[in-house]
Structure 1
């Protein structure tokens, strides 16, 4: 009787499975890390875009103030509703940089419009797919304060100051009044606050 060689398979040690699990773990960690990086970049871009929109909103309010000062007749400066005479004190909330950058200082009155120490600019709108939509969370706002015509010191509060703007007007041969305008917007999200300051000369 002939004998046959019987080959018995070697017992598996599980090495291939272990290596596969390690590779899978590494790939999972890399994928999660990539997703987190992408999410962070999206947030950064969104925040940067909102900040740019807020700045453009503040510039829109500044243009509204300039248009008001350029009109044939000036509005009445009576130390209210965002219009302040040279000798008027600004409200406490608008006398410091921290206050100016605080959205609570620019809170619109009930029903909107001028009031609560500031003035409302029109809401910028854009037509998207045939529907007009607001571009900002709330209308941008501003206030105007007449400043000394000559020899003016630093403006109180914002830290930039007119710094002799009145003197420059006098030296240029012009005759007029210098107005300090501070405009504010909170952007499309209502969280990206931006404020800008400008000085506008209205010739006599």
Structure 2
């Protein structure tokens, strides 16, 4: 009788050990799955941050290009200024993704702000500008119908010119990039 009780006690301890091991296995699988999910989410957040920083760099380059256009005395002689192109000579389509477009005098580098002595971007955002031609308002457009007093053909005799700006920014690791295109109008 004593031998049977001893055998039953050993069997019960073995069952408890087996149950504990199974629960430990399930908990381990849950922990591994949770770690993989956290790792994936961290990679997604890093990629999103990279994209946002690249977009901010490209927008900074757009603003700098607009200021450069505003500083022009006239739209002539574009091909003598680095990063400025005459009508029809600027890179188009898929060629804006080529690294050579964004190197040297093909584009203009933008000064990058610094935080605690270090630049925000590993690569400076860049832009190029193409003179498109005269800008005209669409006839029949309700926003173009403006009534002004004391205005005649000699008042405000300026000509509006249109420009195409293409800007490129990279993220914090320079692995991601964003390229923005904008059309800008200025009166001369």
TM category (shorter chain) comes to 0.7 to 0.9
* TM-score, normalised via structure 1 length: 0.73
Give the aligned partner of residue 124 of structure 2: 139
Tell me the SS of whatever aligns to 1:26: helix
After TM superposition, list the pairs within 5 Å mapping 1:74-89 onto structure 2.
Answer: 76-78=77-79, 81-86=82-87, 88-89=88-89
CA contact (8 A) 1:177 1:202 kept: yes
Q: How many Å apart are 1:10 and its aligned residue? A: 2.3
Q: How many Å apart are 1:106 and its aligned residue? A: 4.2
Q: Which runs of 5+ in 1 are unaligned?
A: 1-5, 110-114, 150-165
The runs of at least 4 aligned residues of structure 1 exceeding 6 Å deviation read: none
CA separation in 1, counterparts of 2:159 and 2:81? 26
Name the count of aligned residue pairs: 167
Q: 1:100 aligns with which of 91, 96, 108?
A: 96
Q: 2:6 aligns with which of 3, 6, 10?
A: 10
Q: Which runs of 5+ in 2 are unaligned?
A: 147-157
After TM superposition, list the pairs within 5 Å mapping 1:36-75 onto structure 2.
Answer: 36-71=36-71, 73=73
- Asked which structure has the greater RCO (Cα within 8 Å, sep 6+), the reply is 2
CA contact (8 A) 2:95 2:101 kept: no
CA RMSD of aligned residues (A): 2.4
After TM superposition, list the pairs within 5 Å mapping 1:188-203 onto structure 2.
Answer: 188-203=172-187
CA separation in 2, counterparts of 1:101 and 1:39? 30
Q: How many Å apart are 1:28 and its aligned residue? A: 0.4
Q: How many Å apart are 1:167 and its aligned residue? A: 2.6
CA contact (8 A) 1:50 1:187 kept: yes
* TM-score, normalised via structure 2 length: 0.79
Which structure's residues are more often helix, by fraction?
2
After TM superposition, list the pairs within 5 Å mapping 1:121-160 onto structure 2.
Answer: 121-126=110-115, 131-149=116-134
Deviations 1:148-186 (A, max 9, x none): 21xxxxxxxxxxxxxxxx232788596221111010011
Give the aligned partner of residue 120 of structure 1: 109
